[in-house]
Structure 1
Amino acid sequence: MQPDHFPSLPALIASQKPSEARLCFSPAHVRRRVAEFQAGFPGCTAWAVKANPHPVVLRAIIDAGIREFDVASRQEIELVRAALPAAVLHFNNPVKAPEDIAHALAAGVRSFALDCREELEKIAALAAGAGVPARNILLNVRFKDAAARGTDNYNFHEKFGAAPDEASHLLHRAKERGFRAGLTFHPGSQNRNPAAYEEMMRLAHTIAGRALGPDMAGLDLLNVGGGFPCRYPGGGEQPLAHYFDAVRRGAALFPCPVSCEPGRALVADSISLLARINLRRSGDSRLYINDGIYGSFMELPFVDFRPPARAYSPGGTLLPEEAVQLFHIWGATCDSLDKIPAPVRLPASIRTGSYIEFGLMGAYTNATATHFNGIAPPRLVTVDRLAAWEGGHGKRRSAS
């Protein structure tokens, strides 16, 4: 079923006056971001489905030219297979249920990530049982930087990744068992340090050299993971070109192809959340809206970036920003935890029935939303024109 379609957010407000929040999706933004990766990244760009598994978003990613996908479950495998049967899938969740590995093998998945001997042996046994030769399977050994410099808001290094010595052993063991083998890492979600990619690639060079010899013969792939940032207000993220340059310098060390698997970077700026103010008490700086942390804002309590925002009248007119103030925004549930962590600067004239557009909401919003208190996640609609939030400083310009 195709979503509702509108030329712009003001047109949506004027014609629908929605009482429920809406995720407003512009495929044009996806096309531009995919084109940026395909032109600038020195290798193959896959997409991490977990960032936004909505079928309409996935279709836009496919239409923009992405043919390889990072999947983390059998459900994501089936989602992509239904949309693009010939897609190349990389099952890059380092810890997988045996049933899910068997399902993936039956679905034609031939690329798996791992970070321990037990997972390697699990995949090897299930592949042998399914009659899939080891030479047809790529095992990507995920390693971590022992220094763990804290570039990761989600601290992936605590949950996943082999220490360098163990990674060398796993890489050697995978080749010894007849598998194709690669290395992979993740520099941290919303990574603000381009040099981290080059540093991790130098560590990968050391790991592969120990396992395979100085020429790294038999290394089939280096996957530099995700972490490519969206430029949120005040975050200080550098342009993507700086990240691509760092990867390009590191790639010169390797005889094999290089790939990446961005999630947030391809879709974050393709969606704005449109929320209505259900209550502003007279003279109060508290706003109660029809979404919250159990819906589209699930990520905000755990990260150090904030979406930009602007406001519309109940009729869809953009409110002037000459007189602004800080507002504390509370969500739609009856839970007192349901509050956007940081105050939001909005026009002082905002009132009950006004709307707030939160930008850069395309990643980890509908993907993580719940039905707490019986409140359904916002429905996705498409729009032709969506604001482009420039330079991470909250400025907007019209975009199609």
Structure 2
Amino acid sequence: MLRLSFDEAKKLKEKWGTPLMVVSRREIGEKFAILNDYLPGVKMYYAVKANAHPDVLKTVKEFTDRFDICSPQEILAAKSIGVQSENMIHTNPVKKPEDIRFAVEQGVRWFVFDNEYELEKFKPYGSDVNLLLRLSFPNPDCVVNLSYKYGVPPDEATGLVIKAAEMGLAVRGLCFHVGSQNLNPYKYTDAIAECKRVFNSLALHGIYLDFLDIGGGFPVEYIEPIMPLRRFFSPIQEALDSYFPNITVIAEPGRFIIGDAVNLVMTVVGKSKRNNVWWYYVDDGLYGSFSGRLYDHCDYLILSEREGPREQCIIAGPTCDSFDVIYHNTVMPQLEIGDTLIALSMGAYTAASASNFNGYPPARTVVVD
């Protein structure tokens, strides 16, 4: 996890101003090294949606040439840094026909679907494209249950793949996503075992799959600690070794790669005591980098270098909207205008959903080390 010192943060602040997203190349590289060690047979496709800043993508490309994309703009973003189309997988299960056409014209050949109506959109391309059927594994215990919106129940998978084959389409494998910021590795093992059942069922019908995508959702540390990563990944690798020793297996890490490789450096721009509670106003907020508080349901640890008693306070963003309050009930030492604050683990689903509301641009991003 990247944890800037306040001396480092102040030097960067002096050079670049705030709000400032500071990305650690070293931390990104360490995450890929962990995945290579703990899931050695799995090919990693970076999930562009987690953080698509050009400098982040360029840095990620130093460690993988495979990218998970979901839209025309993400295709173009990946191609702009030299990613080859054959190294992309389009994982959005529901797409406009024109988006499929654009992707095919750009050279993308791997796509995900989860219903029979989506298959009709692929008929013009026949077996020229490779399809993965997304299965649903609901997981209310993760931060974002990604099977709520997409995925077919496993019991319906065999019939849907047979239908695709009858249409002349090439279903090559299965995929799933057990949920974002998933803390339980056995959700993966259960899903892997169920995928093996579907593989076997299809083999009885003469359809042999050779590809499995286990999605993303690997956790990073925010405020609460997470399981040691070796313990987390070990049962997943054991399940893959047991059920799928001889096929291509991929994963789509996004948060795990970039989440805790980024710190946000902010400045206290105002303060006020209202109803006997300190309000501190900072130069980033819910309409900016802290959009992840809304869309990603995350809490971020905010650090101050000041010491002394910690008091209940409210931390608010810079816009004129009263909704723009980062924390309504937190504790901090008494802060002063001009103070530097550091928020940890700010890399995933933060800048990705930041806006220009009220004329405040998203935080600048810089890559260090």
Q: Deviations over 1:214-247 (max 9, x none)?
A: 9x9621211110110111112x421332332122
2:161 aligned residue: 171
Q: Secondary structure at the match of 2:285?
A: coil
Counterpart of 2:22, as a letter, is: C
Q: Which residue identity lines up with residue 232 of structure 2 in the other structure? A: Y
Which amino acid in the other structure matches residue 138 of structure 1?
Answer: N
Residue aligning to 1:8: 8
Aligned to 1:373: 358
User: Alpha carbon RMSD of aligned pairs, Å?
Assistant: 2.2
Change (3 A) 1:85 1:158: closer
**For 1:86-125, what aligned pairs fall within 5 Å after superposition?**
86=84, 88-125=87-124
Larger deviation: 294-303 or 48-57? 294-303
Question: Which secondary structure state, in structure 2, belongs to the residue aligned with residue 162 of structure 1?
Answer: coil
Aligned residues: 357
* Partner residue in 1 for 2:140: 150
Structure 1 residue 201, shift from structure 2 partner: 0.8
Corresponding residue for residue 34 of structure 1: 32
Q: Give the C-alpha shift of residue 107 in structure 1.
A: 1.0
Return 178-187 or 296-305, whichever deviates more: 296-305
Corresponding position of 1:137: 129
Structure 1, unaligned stretches of length 5 or more? Answer: 1-6, 129-133, 312-317, 385-400
CA distance in 1, matches of 2:38, 2:27: 17
Q: Partner of 2:233 in structure 1?
A: 244
Q: Secondary structure at the match of 2:325?
A: coil
Question: 1:293 pairs with 275, 286, 289, which one?
Answer: 286
Alpha-carbon distance change, 174 to 293 in structure 1, aligned in 2, over 3 angstroms: same
What's the TM-score once normalised by structure 1's chain length? 0.83
Aligned partner of 1:396 in structure 2 is none
Tell me the secondary structure at the aligned position of residue 357 of structure 1. Answer: strand
Which residue matches 2:19?
Answer: 21
Summarize deviations over 1:176-220 as a string: whole Å, max 9, x none: 525141100111110011110001111111222222239x96212
Provide the secondary structure at the position in 2 that maps to 1:332.
Answer: coil
Identical amino acids, percent of aligned pairs: 31
SS of residue in 1 equivalent to 2:291: coil
For residues 50 and 160 of structure 1, what CA distance do their matches in structure 2 show? 16
Q: 1:137 to 1:151 in 2, by over 3 A?
A: farther
| 2:97 counterpart letter in structure 1 | P
SS in structure 1 opposite 2:108?
coil
Go from structure 1 to structure 2 and tell me whether the alpha carbon gap of 1:203 and 1:110 turns closer, same or farther (over 3 Å shift): same
Q: CA deviation at 1:344?
A: 3.6
Aligned match for 2:259, one of 244, 262, 268:
268
Aligned residue for 1:219? 209
The structure-2 alpha-carbon separation of the partners of 1:278 and 1:137, relative to structure 1 and needing over 3 Å to count, comes to: same
What residue in structure 1 maps to residue 45 of structure 2? 46
Q: In 2, distance between residues paired with 1:378 and 1:137?
A: 39
Listed one character per residue, the Cα deviations across residues 305-346 of structure 1 (whole Å, up to 9, x for unaligned) are 4112212xxxxxx434x5323331111111111111453443
> Mean Cα displacement is larger for which, 148-157 or 67-76?
148-157
Q: Which has the higher helix share?
A: 2
1:86-136 CA distance string (max 9 Å, x none): 2501000000111110011111111000000111221122x14xxxxx0x4
Is contact 1:197-1:247 (8 Å) kept?
yes
Residue 248 of structure 1 deviates from its aligned partner by 1.3
| Structure 1 residues 307 and 60, CA gap change in structure 2 (3 angstroms) | same
Q: Which structure 2 segments of 5+ residues have no match?
A: 1-6
- Give a deviation string over 1:274-318, Cα, whole Å, max 9, x none: 11111112574211111111110112135554112212xxxxxx4
Q: Name the CA distance, whole Å, in 1 between partners of 2:301 and 2:218.
A: 19
Q: Is the 8 A contact 1:274 1:355 kept in 2?
A: yes
Task: After TM superposition, give the deviation of residue 10 of structure 1 in Å.
Answer: 2.5
Could you state the TM-score of these two structures normalised by the residue count of structure 2? 0.90
What CA deviation, in whole Å up to 9, does each residue of 1:25-61 have, x standing for no partner?
2211111111111222131111100000001000110
